[in-house]
Amino acid sequence: MSKYKIISVANKSDIPKQYRNTPIGLLLEYHNLNRPFEVYSEAKLLIGMCMDNRKHLHMPDNFSFIIRSGGANLRYSEFKVSYAISVGKVRHIALIGHNHCGMVNLLSRKEEFISGLVNNAGWTKESSEEHFMNLALMHEIGNEIDFVMSETNRLRERYPKINVAPLYYQVEDNKLYCIKADRAKKSNS
């Protein structure tokens, strides 16, 4: 059983208090609640999300910097995160994981990965296998929700003045959900 709870955002009062009246709350309103778009001349938010093509966010132009990386893994994009904070002056990060992520259980995709590089990119089988074996474990995220929470905690520790929100994108309904620790389950363990 997961130690985290997924919170639906179907109206403004569902947005957790710490995100209300912030760019994170606005993202939830724009995407889930069809809030009318405002005009932005500079980014208010950094979004870290998976490179998966099934996800599209409903938000105004210029509202956010977006870093797309497999599994919403920002470990290897930290300079870009620091740039958005320092030069872009954002104070809020929305880290968005999603269900059915391809970065979960990468070992099960080993043969597909190798044959895909051989057939589509012209690699040799040996170089494809070496590439997979050298990098797959670095990019494996395990459970999507657990990973988003661990990455959120890492970013909060690294950037203590930045408001980092763990969010979850449900592919089937194209909605964003908030993730929070399930206190009841946590206390029973």
Residues of the chain with pLDDT > 70, as a percent, come to: 95
Closest by alpha carbon to 167, among 30, 1, 35? 30
User: 186 pLDDT exceeds 80?
Assistant: no
Closest by alpha carbon to 9, among 181, 185, 178, 180? 178
Give residue-wise pLDDT tens across range 134-183. Answer: 999 889 888 899 999 999 999 999 999 999 999 999 999 999 999 997 66
Amino acid letter for position 113: F
**Total-model pTM:** 0.90
Q: Region of 145 please: left (phi>0), alpha (psi -120 to 50) or beta.
A: alpha
pLDDT of residue 39: 97
**Residue predicted with more confidence, 186 or 124:** 124
**Residue predicted with more confidence, 90 or 143:** 90
The mean pLDDT of 4-33, rounded to a whole number, is: 96
> Could you tell me the domains of the chain?
4-104+142-188 (3.40.1050.10), 105-140 (no CATH)
Residues of the chain with pLDDT > 90, as a percent, come to: 83
Strands (DSSP E) contained in 71-141 are: 92-98
d(CA 18, CA 165): 9
Instruction: Judge residue 150's burial from the number of C-beta atoms within 10 Å of its C-beta, 0-12 exposed, 13-18 middle, 19 or more buried.
Output: middle
The mean pLDDT of 52-78, rounded to a whole number, is: 94
pLDDT of residue 2: 64
The mean pLDDT of 69-95, rounded to a whole number, is: 96
Q: Was 98 annotated as part of a binding site?
A: yes
- Angstrom CA distances, 34 to 5, 8, 71, 169, 172, stand at 24, 15, 26, 16, 18
